[in-house]
A and B are shown apart, each in its own frame.
Chain A
């Protein structure tokens, strides 16, 4: 069974820091991996999607990498801002286990 784990579960950093969020998955036979953010009580906002053939994707201050062989993805946030405070979720899609979400990292950026 595919398990998707995110470490740390919670993170608090001062404004301006660069930070890395981690996502690990047990079954490397994924089609793609998608990163989302979720604000309290709200739906999910898509940040980046990496296809299985890709190594990384970038959007503004965000960079996501994918290493299928080791079952890991990282989301790098440069120069963090208070508006980045949210829960970050990774999500894998595969033929066998379909759509599995990670446990989430709750990020707080302090002004």
Chain B
């Protein structure tokens, strides 16, 4: 166990549904991340939060909406998704963000396998 949990582990949703993915870290970290892993493509960064503030939005469509209510929890709200959004969504956390002399090592959760029908 890495100290990062994600729920649900599997999700099937229609294109008109609204659902949310949840991530929780028990490591006392300050930065949290959402990544997308599609088949045959490298992992792609979606969002970064540092001290609950969004510092990165990697040109992600607005049908994905992140929320970080506190430094331990991160949500990804999903709305009117497309079939091509089917992927493994991974959450990660790190003690510090990049470019610091601190601890930027990222720890990942097990992921949520999303299927959009």
Contact = CB atoms under 8 A, between A and B. Distances in A.
Contacts, number: 62
Interface in A65-111: 89, 91, 93-95, 98-104
B45 A32 contact: no
Q: Bin chain A's interface residue count.
A: 20 to 34
A89 B98 CA distance: 18
Interface residues of B, number: 27
Contacts of A34: 105-106
23 contacts: A4-B42, A31-B104, A41-B111, A41-B113, A42-B110, A43-B2, A43-B4, A43-B6, A43-B110, A45-B2, A46-B106, A46-B107, A46-B108, A49-B105, A93-B98, A93-B104, A94-B98, A98-B56, A98-B98, A99-B45, A100-B42, A101-B35, A103-B42
Interface of B: 2, 4, 6, 33, 35, 42-45, 48, 56, 58, 88, 90, 92, 98-100, 104-111, 113
